[in-house]
């Protein structure tokens, strides 16, 4: 089973101009691939062989990114639905005409359009965020071959500017306490290391660091700038390297095991570490 398609090593490392859809359908291990593999190799294999349609949350994230990072493309890619009563003959005609004029675009509601434009306006009202994003290089795809494993890897940063990789994170709570939890749960430490290391491999340039811009999805659309510290990045780097080594082993053996490891061994069951605090043990 060809999990990793053949590639010409001499083609990499390189930077490619491609759409988001082309990037996601291209060969190579991405940070999201490693996320699935970290759950278990079996989860990765299933996702690879059974691609799913983007969820509403993923579609909204893409819309937010377009509005913030590529505002000139927003109405080229999306069509804002007209308000009409589609139960009436007139409304049906208006809607049919709208769909005809919107071919090739994704239809969004007026509320969705107002949401993302309000998020952008609030973000850019912050002079520090505006300074970080103005003139940034956005949505380029980077491909490289990992020297230790020979695996083809890839990443697609939101933006690069002023010596930093910059990532936009929409969230329900951008406060330091809540965002730290999100960063761990969604493995942002792995992302920061993956992108910084990949960028360095492709360009030969060591950047200053990784910046997350967290913005809330509800009014007043508060935002915060977070800079990943060295320990945050190093924790992600160590895990990424470990996962790549295991990934290479799975490719070599064509064995994509579950939680019990390649020998499917029984697992010792423990309570979460915090639960033991209520017992005298």
Question: pLDDT, tens digit, for every residue of 190-242?
Answer: 999 999 999 999 999 999 999 999 999 999 999 999 999 999 999 999 999 99
Q: Could you give the percent of the chain with pLDDT greater than 90?
A: 79
Sheet hosting strand 159-161, strand order edge to edge:
137-138, 159-161, 164-171, 209-216, 223-227
Does residue 118 sit in the same domain as residue 161? no
Give the pLDDT of residue 261.
Answer: 86
pLDDT at 156 exceeding the cut of 90: yes
Encoding tokens for residue 126? 């912050």
* Domain with 151 in it: 9-29+126-239
Cα–Cα distance for residue pair 122/143, rounded to 1 Å = 34
Kind and range of the H or E run holding 225? strand 223-227
Cα–Cα distance for residue pair 105/121, rounded to 1 Å = 23
Place of tokens 């799913």: 52
Q: What are residue 66's phi and psi, to 5 degrees? A: -65, -45
Judge whether 60 lies within some domain: yes
Is the bond preceding residue 220 a cis peptide, omega within 30 degrees?
Answer: yes
Judge whether 248 lies within some domain: no
Give the number of other Cβ atoms within 10 Å of residue 253's Cβ: 10
Instruction: Identify the band that residue 21 occupies on the pLDDT scale cut at 50, 70 and 90.
Output: confident
Q: Domain ends where: 77, 105, 125?
A: 125
Go through the chain and tell me how many residues it has: 281
Does residue 65 sit in the same domain as residue 158? no
Instruction: Identify the band that residue 274 occupies on the pLDDT scale cut at 50, 70 and 90.
Output: confident
- The total number of structural domains in the chain stands at 2
Judge whether 256 lies within some domain: no
Give the pLDDT of residue 277.
Answer: 87
| Predicted TM-score of the model (pTM) | 0.88
Cα–Cα distance for residue pair 140/153, rounded to 1 Å = 14
DSSP state of 279: S
Does residue 163 sit in the same domain as residue 196? yes
Q: Which of 72, 157, 67 is nearest to 114 (CA)?
A: 67
Does residue 138 sit in the same domain as residue 14? yes
Please answer whether residues 155 and 31 qualify as being in contact, where contact means their C-beta atoms are separated by less than 8 angstroms.
yes
DSSP state of 29: B
Encoding tokens for residue 116? 């993302």
Does residue 204 sit in the same domain as residue 143? yes
Cα–Cα distance for residue pair 258/191, rounded to 1 Å = 23
Judge whether 1 lies within some domain: no
Does residue 92 sit in the same domain as residue 181? no
| Beta pairing class for 106-108 and 78-80 | parallel
Give the pLDDT of residue 11.
Answer: 64
Does residue 134 sit in the same domain as residue 205? yes
Does residue 137 sit in the same domain as residue 216? yes
Kind and range of the H or E run holding 182? helix 176-185
pLDDT at 23 exceeding the cut of 70: yes
Mean pLDDT across 46-52: 90
Cα–Cα distance for residue pair 41/91, rounded to 1 Å = 51
pLDDT at 140 exceeding the cut of 80: yes
Place of tokens 């360095």: 200
pLDDT at 6 exceeding the cut of 60: no
Give the pLDDT of residue 12.
Answer: 66
Judge whether 34 lies within some domain: no
Give the pLDDT of residue 10.
Answer: 59
Mean pLDDT across 76-99: 92
Cα–Cα distance for residue pair 233/209, rounded to 1 Å = 9
Mean pLDDT across 241-254: 94
pLDDT at 183 exceeding the cut of 50: yes
Q: Which of 142, 170, 153 is nearest to 66 (CA)?
A: 170
Does residue 232 sit in the same domain as residue 132? yes
Judge whether 254 lies within some domain: no
Please answer whether residues 236 and 193 qualify as being in contact, where contact means their C-beta atoms are separated by less than 8 angstroms.
yes
Does residue 73 sit in the same domain as residue 189? no
Judge whether 162 lies within some domain: yes
Does residue 234 sit in the same domain as residue 188? yes
Cα–Cα distance for residue pair 32/30, rounded to 1 Å = 5
Does residue 153 sit in the same domain as residue 213? yes
Provide the mean pLDDT of the chain.
Answer: 91
Q: What are residue 103's phi and psi, to 5 degrees? A: -60, 135
Judge whether 226 lies within some domain: yes
Q: Domain ends where: 96, 125, 154?
A: 125
pLDDT at 4 exceeding the cut of 60: no
């Amino acid at each position: 089973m060809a999990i990793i398609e053949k590639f010409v090593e001499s083609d990499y490392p390189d930077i490619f101009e491609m759409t988001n859809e082309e990037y996601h359908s291209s060969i190579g291990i991405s940070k999201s691939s490693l996320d699935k593999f970290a759950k278990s190799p079996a989860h990765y294999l299933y996702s690879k062989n059974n691609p799913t349609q983007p969820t509403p949350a993923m579609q909204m994230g893409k819309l937010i990114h377009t509005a913030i990072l590529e505002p000139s493309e927003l109405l080229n890619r999306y069509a804002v639905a007209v308000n009409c009563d589609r139960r009436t003959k007139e409304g049906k005609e208006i809607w049919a005409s709208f769909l005809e004029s919107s071919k090739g675009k994704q239809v969004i509601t007026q509320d969705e359009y107002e949401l993302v434009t309000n998020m952008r306006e609030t973000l850019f009202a912050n002079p520090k965020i505006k300074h970080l994003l103005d003139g940034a290089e956005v949505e380029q795809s980077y491909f490289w071959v990992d020297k230790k494993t020979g695996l083809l890897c890839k990443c697609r940063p939101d933006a690069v500017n002023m010596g930093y990789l910059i990532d936009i994170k929409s969230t329900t709570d951008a406060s330091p306490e809540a965002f730290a939890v999100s960063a761990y749960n969604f493995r942002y430490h792995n992302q920061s290391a993956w992108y910084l290391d990949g960028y360095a491999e492709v360009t030969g340039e060591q950047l200053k660091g990784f910046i997350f811009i967290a913005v809330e999805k509800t009014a007043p659309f508060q935002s915060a700038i977070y800079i990943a510290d060295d320990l945050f990045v190093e924790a992600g780097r160590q895990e990424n390297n470990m996962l790549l080594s295991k990934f290479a082993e799975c490719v070599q053996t064509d064995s994509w095991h579950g939680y019990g490891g390649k020998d499917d061994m029984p697992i010792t069951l423990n309570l979460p570490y915090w639960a033991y605090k209520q017992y005298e043990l």
